Amino acid sequence: MTKTDVLIIGGSAAGFVTAMTARSNYPDKSVMVIRKEKKTVVPCGIPYIFGSLESSEKNLMPDGKLQEMGVNVLVDVVTSVELDTKVCHTKGGDDISFEKIVFATGSIPKIPNWLEGKDLDNVFVIPKDKEYLDSISEQLNDKQNIVVVGGGFIGVEVSDELNKVGKNVTLVEVLPHILGMVFDEKMGERAQNILQARGVTVKTGHGIKAITGQGKVSGILLDNGDAIEADAVILSMGYEPNTQLAKSAGLATNRFGQIDVDEYMRTDNYNVFAVGDCAQKRDFFTRRVTPTMLASTACAEARIVGMNLFSLYTTKNFKGTLSIFFTALGDDGFGAAGLTVAEAQKQQLPAFGSIFEGVDKHPGTLPNTHKQIVELVVAKGSGLILGGSVAGGPSTGELVNIISLAIQNNMTVYDLITTQIGTHPLLTAPPTAYPIIKAAEMAMKQLHK
Amino acid sequence: MTKTDVLIIGGSAAGFVTAMTARSNYPDKSVMVIRKEKKTVVPCGIPYIFGSLESSEKNLMPDGKLQEMGVNVLVDVVTSVELDTKVCHTKGGDDISFEKIVFATGSIPKIPNWLEGKDLDNVFVIPKDKEYLDSISEQLNDKQNIVVVGGGFIGVEVSDELNKVGKNVTLVEVLPHILGMVFDEKMGERAQNILQARGVTVKTGHGIKAITGQGKVSGILLDNGDAIEADAVILSMGYEPNTQLAKSAGLATNRFGQIDVDEYMRTDNYNVFAVGDCAQKRDFFTRRVTPTMLASTACAEARIVGMNLFSLYTTKNFKGTLSIFFTALGDDGFGAAGLTVAEAQKQQLPAFGSIFEGVDKHPGTLPNTHKQIVELVVAKGSGLILGGSVAGGPSTGELVNIISLAIQNNMTVYDLITTQIGTHPLLTAPPTAYPIIKAAEMAMKQLHK
């Protein structure tokens, strides 16, 4: 029987950060990560394996850091966990006893049961699995016409990367715009135009009905009857929590299939934690359970688990999950944090958008200046910042993080308009027209009406 | 006699934003800007006139926006202001009566009185004056060896730009490192190495003693006796508030020569405001008067003035001036917000630095990945974030703004470690090693020791 103080199942972002933080905060405790992959891919880097990175070998989690911190890594598959006796069994025949256990089992691609043709050859999904991904890369080499189904971030990024290496790519999305879950119309439209200008064919407003072919894929059918030819189909229709093992161990899950946890990611059994895509998320604004899955959220949760395994070392609680997304198409960045106006309205939160269009350098005559558009989503009455989105250049990601920090500090537009920000010709918008401040200023005028 | 409700003296960043905000908040009031320049240069863009922008014509404040907002612009020089009778006289012979007046007269380059040779031909300074700047650009055309005196941001940027267009540039700084006022040693050293690698000769640790030459410059002498040959010398030895006019009008100034104002930029006479480089600044942490001069600060103040000219429309007060600087040398960005460890210690504020070195994309094997180094300056005991500095790529500016927002929200390292941030392969550090969070994590461990 192998013994470890802390056992973490899963070696992607959540498991990795939990292990590192645990060793850092509890240097006297032994920490073991069990994962099925010999090498683990960086999850958010996966779409770039198909283009910018050339190979999954350039997209690996740094195992060296785990070794440096003294984390034990076991490559094996967990077959069952006995929570009462605190023992875990593996396919390789190991029995491992533990004091604390952390489920960091992630998520797996969703494939609708009703989808005819889903088992044909050359129909792929995008899991966080290096061997599978390497095999897709290989198999796509001699395919030219590729249909990607699902215009969320992963579908968009995979389409753009395959287009970059010369494939003929069609992206299909059922909503009126790509990225429709995270952007209000204007931003979604902008992203879509850029993706099309880069050469990807985008078909929105109709979903997939069936995949066609004999033995192997020959195309897809849309719900309006249109047919699209394809040598390969990539399904990017969302992910679901990977919680079979947790359920077998007797842990409760919610209606999204996430493992029930409290603010400190503890199940009802304080020796058992869940973290990342497999764990319950509560919305930042309403505290309702929400199906958000993001590596950045997973890492924030993992730091909390790693610090609080043996006692609530940091009594700071987690305010709920804030969706913070961004991506880039070439030099053009897009992103959002918090609620869109549409989503706020769905939550019965009266809100309005305030948009300012500027530039990401100043004067805008400088080389490589990008348009920089910021929309703030503001609560009527209080002026609280509920969300925001950004379209701009290479600084888009950190600009979204500025908005997300404003949300997490419960800032209002009144706070923002007197906030001091730094500016520089080569790095930001001008001080006279910094887009977050200008959007706040316009929102304030709207509130005073 | 011309009449205006609001009269603003000065048309650079502070005057511009005051005018725009005033018209936006008080659409029934007439607003006039008097400035001496026919066209006004964007202040922070000035160094780039010498290289990246080719001409000052590409670095102009957008007068069209003033017109759109209905701001009246008068190009003239104010000779005196009578505060009792509320009348202003100009060189052009105009008498202008006003209800509210705003001094936005900016700053002028400092030239030490003791500096021998300062009146020789081809000795230049960098004022915010388009005609003067155009004339320097012209005169530098046939000069090859240029000495820049003063290694603050402006000296560094001007050196880099002149080097870019093929000049032989030597930068002289009396402190041990360039940018020594805003960076602790490590960051200053890094910036200096990059500037040198780009071809600028940097001499630190010794100040200028005299400028040599007969009629025109032939070189400079350092205080250690070294001589450097030069066809032209550019003095970038700081700026002082331009307050002669305000003093003549009877306004009080402090020991830095700044016009005395309260939190709302009002003098003792509530009809008289001062804003920007000519106005008093109080430090964010100690509320002591401080000689900070930044366009970004000026713009934050200008929004406050513009909103509160006729009553305190927004009761949010200004927490004091936070220094937020950043710059770029090619693709490498550098910046800082708040206090350095050295400056905190000078203020008797026990503090320590926590440095994390990462990358600005992930995996770091992606093309154009930069090193990204973040230092947080943390108060001993409370863990309050007092400052921070960043060396990285194109997102450096907004990353510094994230730190500045954390400071302005009185965040501690305990708050930061559970803050949710977004990440993306092409736009930020990885979620497992986001440098601000990692530096906070390391600082927390230090606090727990």
| Of the partner residues B299, B314, B395, the one whose CB lies closest to the CB of residue A394 | B395
Q: What pLDDT, on the 0 to 100 scale, is given for residue A366?
A: 87
Same domain, B227 and B116: yes
Q: What pLDDT, on the 0 to 100 scale, is given for residue A229?
A: 97
Cβ-proximal residues to A103 (8 Å cutoff; 6+ apart), any chain: A9, A10, A243, A245, A246, A251, A259, A272, A273, A274, A275, A278, A279
Indicate yes or no: CB of B434 within 8 angstroms of CB of A60.
no
Q: Which residues of chain B neighbour A409 with C-beta distances below 8 Å?
A: 405, 409, 411
- Does residue B313 lie within any of the structural domains? no
Please give the residue of chain B at the shortest CA–CA distance from A403. Answer: B402
pLDDT band at A318; cut points 50, 70, 90 = low
Which has the closest alpha carbon to A400: A412, A409, A391, A411? A391
| Of the partner residues A25, A324, A424, the one whose CB lies closest to the CB of residue B327 | A424
- Does residue B26 lie within any of the structural domains? yes
- Does residue A34 lie within any of the structural domains? yes
Tokens of B360: 């600005």
Alpha-carbon gap: A147 to the closest alpha carbon of chain B (Å) = 24
Same domain, B218 and B126: yes
Question: Contact B385/B403 with Cβ under 8 angstroms?
Answer: yes
Among B237, B264, B283, the domain boundary falls at: B237
Please give the residue of chain A at the shortest CA–CA distance from B418. Answer: A300
Same domain, B347 and B293: no
- Does residue B267 lie within any of the structural domains? yes
Q: Which residues of chain A neighbour B52 with C-beta distances below 8 Å?
A: 366-367, 426
Indicate yes or no: CB of A397 within 8 angstroms of CB of B428.
yes
Indicate yes or no: CB of B420 within 8 angstroms of CB of A322.
yes
Same domain, B276 and B346: no
Indicate yes or no: CB of A397 within 8 angstroms of CB of B424.
yes
Least reliable range by pLDDT among A42-46, A82-86, B150-154: A42-46
- Does residue A314 lie within any of the structural domains? no
b vs e for B122-142, b when ≥16 Cβ sit within 10 Å of the residue's Cβ? Answer: bbbbbbbbbeebeebeeebee
Tokens of B331: 């693709």
Same domain, B125 and B218: yes
pLDDT along chain B (449 residues), means of 10: 97 96 95 94 87 84 92 97 98 97 97 96 95 93 97 95 96 94 87 95 96 97 96 97 98 97 94 98 92 91 94 72 91 94 92 95 89 96 95 95 96 92 92 94 90
Q: Which residues of chain A neighbour B393 with C-beta distances below 8 Å?
A: 394
Same domain, A38 and A59: yes
Q: What pLDDT, on the 0 to 100 scale, is given for residue B330?
A: 87
Q: What pLDDT, on the 0 to 100 scale, is given for residue A316?
A: 59
Cβ-proximal residues to B316 (8 Å cutoff; 6+ apart), any chain: A414, A415, A417, A418
How far is it, in rounded angstroms, from Cα B402 to Cα B334?
14
How far is it, in rounded angstroms, from Cα B255 to Cα B342?
23
φ/ψ of B408, rounded to 5, equals -65, -20
User: Mean pLDDT over all residues of chain A?
Assistant: 94
Cβ-proximal residues to A84 (8 Å cutoff; 6+ apart), any chain: none
Question: Phi-psi region for residue B144, left (φ > 0), alpha (ψ -120 to 50) or beta?
Answer: alpha
Q: Which residues of chain B neighbour A446 with C-beta distances below 8 Å?
A: none
Indicate yes or no: CB of A422 within 8 angstroms of CB of B296.
yes
Alpha-carbon gap: A7 to the closest alpha carbon of chain B (Å) = 19
Q: Is B221 exposed, middle or buried (0-12, 13-18, 19+ CB in 10 A)?
A: middle
Q: Which residues of chain B neighbour A421 with C-beta distances below 8 Å?
A: 296, 300, 324, 401, 404-405
* Residue A314 confidence (pLDDT) above 80: no
| Of the partner residues A399, A425, A426, the one whose CB lies closest to the CB of residue B398 | A399
Q: Which residues of chain A neighbour B426 with C-beta distances below 8 Å?
A: 48, 52, 327-328, 333
* Residue A53 confidence (pLDDT) above 90: no
| Of the partner residues A20, A25, A45, the one whose CB lies closest to the CB of residue B362 | A45
Give me Rg for the CA atoms of chain B.
Answer: 23
Same domain, A370 and A407: yes
Cβ-proximal residues to B364 (8 Å cutoff; 6+ apart), any chain: none
* HEC secondary structure over chain B: CEEEEEEEECCCHHHHHHHHHHHHHCCCCCEEEEECCCCCECHHHHHHHHCCCCCHHHCECCHHHHHHCCCEEEECCEEEEECCCCEEEECCCCEEEEEEEEECCCEEECCCCCCECCCCECEEECCCCHHHHHHHHHHHCCCCEEEEECCCHHHHHHHHHHHHCCCEEEEEECCCCCCCCCCCHHHHHHHHHHHHHCCCEEEECCCEEEEEEECEEEEEEECCCCEEECCEEEECCCEEECCHHHHHCCCCECCCCCECCCCCCECCCCCEEECHHHECCEECCCCCECCCCCHHHHHHHHHHHHHHCCCCCCCCCCCCECCEEEEEECCEEEEEEECCHHHHHHCCCCEEEEEEEEECCCCCCCCCCCEEEEEEEEECCCCEEEEEEEEECCCHHHHHHHHHHHHHCCCEHHHHHCCCCCCCCCCCCCHHHCHHHHHHHHHHHHHHC
CB atoms within 10 A of CB B219: 17
Total domain count for chain A?
Answer: 3
- Does residue B213 lie within any of the structural domains? yes
Indicate yes or no: CB of B326 within 8 angstroms of CB of A60.
no
Same domain, B218 and B287: no
Same domain, A400 and A413: yes
Among residues of chain A, what percentage have pLDDT more than 70? Answer: 99
Residue for token pair 């058992």: A272
* Paired residues of B337 in beta bridges: B324, B388
| Of the partner residues A314, A420, A422, the one whose CB lies closest to the CB of residue B397 | A422
- Does residue B316 lie within any of the structural domains? no
Residue for token pair 């920000």: A421
Q: Which residues of chain A neighbour B331 with C-beta distances below 8 Å?
A: none
Q: Which residues of chain B neighbour A427 with C-beta distances below 8 Å?
A: 326-328, 333, 335, 394, 396-398
Cα dihedral sign for B252, B258, B262, B267? positive
| Of the partner residues A296, A423, A431, the one whose CB lies closest to the CB of residue B422 | A296
Residue for token pair 């902008």: A190
Please give the residue of chain A at the shortest CA–CA distance from B321. Answer: A420
Same domain, B233 and B259: no
Q: What pLDDT, on the 0 to 100 scale, is given for residue B93?
A: 96
* HEC secondary structure over chain A: CEEEEEEEECCCHHHHHHHHHHHHHCCCCCEEEEECCCCCECHHHHHHHHCCCCCHHHCECCHHHHHHCCCEEEECCEEEEECCCCEEEECCCCEEEEEEEEECCCEEECCCCCCECCCCECEEECCCCHHHHHHHHHHHCCCCEEEEECCCHHHHHHHHHHHHCCCEEEEEECCCCCCCCCCCHHHHHHHHHHHHHCCCEEEECCCEEEEEEECEEEEEEECCCCEEECCEEEECCCEEECCHHHHHCCCCECCCCCECCCCCCECCCCCEEECHHHECCEECCCCCECCCCCHHHHHHHHHHHHHHCCCCCCCCCCCCECCEEEEEECCEEEEEEECCHHHHHHCCCCEEEEEEEEECCCCCCCCCCCEEEEEEEEECCCCEEEEEEEEECCCHHHHHHHHHHHHHCCCEHHHHHCCCCCCCCCCCCCHHHCHHHHHHHHHHHHHHC
Alpha-carbon gap: A230 to the closest alpha carbon of chain B (Å) = 29
CB atoms within 10 A of CB B166: 10
Question: Contact B36/B75 with Cβ under 8 angstroms?
Answer: yes
Q: Which residues of chain B neighbour A420 with C-beta distances below 8 Å?
A: 296-297, 300, 321-322, 324, 404, 408
Q: Number of residue pairs across A and B with CB atoms under 8 Å?
A: 257
More confident residue, A121 or B185: A121
This prediction's pTM:
0.91
Q: What is the CATH number of the domain that holds B392?
A: 3.30.390.30
Among B308, B336, B361, the domain boundary falls at: B308
Q: What pLDDT, on the 0 to 100 scale, is given for residue B318?
A: 66
Question: For A354-379, how does the pLDDT look when each residue is reduced to its tens digit (9 = 90+)?
Answer: 999 999 998 888 888 999 999 999 99
- Does residue B318 lie within any of the structural domains? no
- Sheet bearing A208-214, strands edge to edge: A208-214, A216-222, A227-229
Same domain, A119 and A101: no
Same domain, B427 and B354: yes
Tokens of B210: 């005299």
Q: What pLDDT, on the 0 to 100 scale, is given for residue A243?
A: 98
Question: For A214-246, how does the pLDDT look when each residue is reduced to its tens digit (9 = 90+)?
Answer: 999 999 999 999 999 999 999 999 999 999 999
| Of the partner residues A314, A401, A427, the one whose CB lies closest to the CB of residue B397 | A427
Least reliable range by pLDDT among A306-310, A314-318, A408-412, B83-87: A314-318
φ/ψ of A344, rounded to 5, equals -60, -45
Among residues of chain A, what percentage have pLDDT more than 90? Answer: 84
Indicate yes or no: CB of B398 within 8 angstroms of CB of A401.
yes
Q: What pLDDT, on the 0 to 100 scale, is given for residue B198?
A: 96
Domain residues for A393? 333-448
Alpha-carbon gap: A70 to the closest alpha carbon of chain B (Å) = 17
Q: What is the CATH number of the domain that holds B213?
A: 3.50.50.60
Question: Which of A405, A415, A446 would best serve as a mutation to test chain B binding (most B beta carbons within 10 A)?
Answer: A405
Among A292, A308, A324, the domain boundary falls at: A308
